[in-house]
Every structure is written in C-alpha cells, then in structure tokens.
Amino acid sequence: MNIAITTLGCKVNQYETAALEAELRRRGHELVPFDGPADAYIVNTCTVTAVSDKKSRQLIRQARKRSPEGVVAVCGCYAQTAPEAVAALGVDLVAGSSGRLAFLDDLEHLLAQREPAPLVTVDNILSHRTFEALSGGGLEGRTRAMLKVEDGCVNFCTYCIIPYARGPVRSLDIPGARQELARLLEAGYREIVLTGIEISSWGRDLPGEETLIDLLEGLCRGLPAGVRLRLGSLEPRTITPNFCRRAAALPNLCPHFHLSMQSGCDAVLARMHRHYDTARYYESVKLLRDFFPDPGITTDLIVGFPGEREEEFQETLAFVERCAFSAMHIFPYSRRTGTPAADMPGQVPNAVKEARAHRAAALAGRLEEAYLDRMIGKSFPVLFEDQHDGLWRGHAPNYAAVYVPGQELHNVERMVSITSRNGSRLLGELV
C-alpha cells in the first residue's frame, strides 16, 4: 500500500515517525509524499501550543479532503489529549503517544477491511511504566540521527500539557541504548543526538542509581573517532561539578548544551513551578564555561506568562544578557486548557506577548552574533551535511553552522578555519 506520513513537533516525534517509516517499509509498504495521493495518511501530532493543535487539525483536514475514501490515521500528543476532537474530524483511526506497532497493526487492518469509523485506541498514558523501544534513525540523506533514550515527564510545570500527553518517566537501559547506537553507526550516521521528553530524568525508573552521565559514559565507551554524541534539552540542575568533570572527559561529546530556562525572573519561575531559580541556573552556565572552552549554550524562553509584569520581563532580559546564550528559542506563552496556568489571573494580552517576543529576539540575535564573532580565527572539526547557495553546510561541535566552498563533502568531517561571519552563518576554509 502507498502510505504518507507527516510529523509535527519535537525531536521525539521525529524519531518516532522515522521508526514508523522503517517499520512500514519492513512490512512491504511504499512511502509516498503527504501532499499527493495515498491509500492511507498518518498524521503524528503535537500539542505543545495552541498553534500546534491548529496545525494538526489543518493537516488532518487536508488528508481527509485529499482522499475521501482513504484511511486517515492520527497519533501523537494532540491525539492523546484530545481524542474526541480528533475523531470528530472524520478520522478513521485515533491512537495516542504510545503503542506505535499496534497502531500500525490497526492501520493495516483498516486498509484490508474497512469498518465503521472511527477506531479510537487511546489509553491512559499516566499508567504506563515501560519504555517502548523503537528503532528510529535519521531523515534520508542526513548525517545526523536521533536516539530516543527516555519518554515521559513528571515535572508538571504549570504551563505544560506534555506530562498529560506523555505520561511518567520511562528509560531505555544502557545495554538497549548501546545496541541501538551500534545499529545507527552501522547505518553510517556520524552524529547521534540523544533525545527524549525529559532526558535529565533518564534512569529515574530503572533499578540502581544510574543517571544521565552514566548513560553518556556507557555510550561513549568504544565510540569510534569522528563520531559525535550530542545532547538534547537538559534540566539546569543536571549540570553539577561531577557531571561536568565526567562529561568533559568524553572526547566524542559535543560541547553544546541546551538548558531549558523559560524565564529569567524568580517570581515567574515560581509561578511556572520550575524547580530552580536564576541563581541555580546561572551556576549551571558558569560550570559549563569552567569545564568546556566557549561551549554553545542555548535555551528556551517563554514570554508573557500569566502575571508577568514589565518589570519582571526586564529582569528576564537582564538575566539573558548575563548568561550570553549562543542561541535562543523564544515563544509567547500559549494557554493550554487543563493546565494550572490556564486559570491563573493576569493573562497577558497577545499584542503584549508578541511585542515582548520581538524584544527578546532582538537581544538574542545580538548575543548570537557576539558568540559567533568569537569563533572567527579559530578552527573546528565540521561534519558536513548538505549544500546551500553553492556552499557546503555543516555544524561545529558547538552547533554553530559553518559554510565552506568545496567538492563533495556529505557526511565528511573536516577541519575548518573560520574566516568571517554572515548573519548567523560562519564562513570558513578547509584546512
């Protein structure tokens, strides 16, 4: 059968879609573009913001319109939290954020024998206790692959619906992670990104007292030269002297750390139910710079959280400047029904949220340029991925994007001397 898949959302969703694609091919199906004809359409949804929900609904409607007689199957976080709303869109199969192989079994059954729709198989994700092992990979033609090592989150930040969409923490043990890593290396990938819903919580559900740094050491042990391991988003309290000392001893680990921040104001962090304050966050930033030479430190920021006054936003801007991030992702607060923040007083008008997002983005841009300017005159190993505007593009270990002229460089690592900057691009010459 011809099956089309599209994905919204985070790296975990992308990993799981790659696993679905691999399994569909193994079962003898052909993958076709989502914007063309197909026997079945799969939409892997996201629900992190209201915009994500809207995009999910749009893609579902497009699939239904494109093939009135085809099977439309929906899975992922939006389907997990709003199965009735998804089913009402004329969907044939609604599944949640787990049981992906069973989801494909149901899809094949519907393709073979159409039955009254919709079939809804969403269960109580909060009761799940076992990690669902899937063999993912990277997108076709890419040099980088994702390795999902964790699912779920129990932080229950007041703005976030993801714990209700993903359930409690479940971890892939070190032997399982090493086995999947070996498969990815055999497939030719040169950079592996550890991903999960909250990878800082890795190991919390496993017997013993292993933590994320034990996983990193277990994966880096015996890793060939020229193969990189990159971390996904981290909770700031993961960064301790012990973590940094052991991580800095791993030559394959990229010095790029995404520390989720969300606000630079202690009062706002408390309302968000984050488990740190700005002093602890800055301690993490300082530790990373003590142990790693000029690491890439990136973050997320939510502006316009309920009750955020102008003075509190100014505190955040000052803290952002103090941290001097190499790059930032900035989001206006999105009200999520079912979360405590949705009912908080002092909801900030959309116009104010958008204005603050623009102001924060302007500061983030200046900090990024300053960080990249410090790279000029230095040399880095760059793993090249593809061509843009006649130049080969790749990433340095600190995740700075580097562009050079040259011949075929796909999936090749070469030393590059950085000569200049053009916007967020570093330009260089092969050494």
Domain ranges within the chain, ordered by starting residue: 2-123, 144-373, 379-430
Task: Name the CA radius of gyration of the chain, rounded.
Answer: 22
pTM given for the model: 0.93
- pLDDT values of the chain reduced to their tens digit, one per residue, 431 residues: 999 999 999 999 999 999 999 999 999 999 999 999 999 999 999 999 999 999 999 999 999 999 888 999 999 999 999 999 999 999 999 999 999 999 999 999 999 987 767 899 999 999 999 999 888 765 545 788 999 999 999 999 999 999 999 999 999 999 999 999 999 999 899 999 999 999 999 999 999 999 999 999 999 998 998 899 999 999 999 999 999 999 999 999 999 999 999 999 999 999 999 999 999 999 999 999 999 999 999 999 999 999 999 999 999 999 999 999 999 999 999 999 999 999 999 999 999 999 999 999 999 999 999 999 999 999 999 999 999 989 999 999 999 999 999 899 999 999 999 999 999 999 999 99
Six-digit token string for 85 = 């709303």
Whether 341 contacts 306, CB under 8 Å: yes
CB atoms within 10 A of CB 385: 21
353 vs 305: CA distance, rounded Å: 8
Tell me the CATH class for 379-430. Answer: mainly beta
d(CA 49, CA 46): 8
Which CATH entry fits the domain spanning 2-123: 3.40.50.12160, 2.60.120.380, 3.30.70.260, 3.40.50.2000? 3.40.50.12160
User: Is 144-373 CATH 3.40.50.1260?
Assistant: no
Phi and psi, residue 268, nearest 5°: -70, -40
Say yes or no: do domains 144-373 and 379-430 share a fold: no
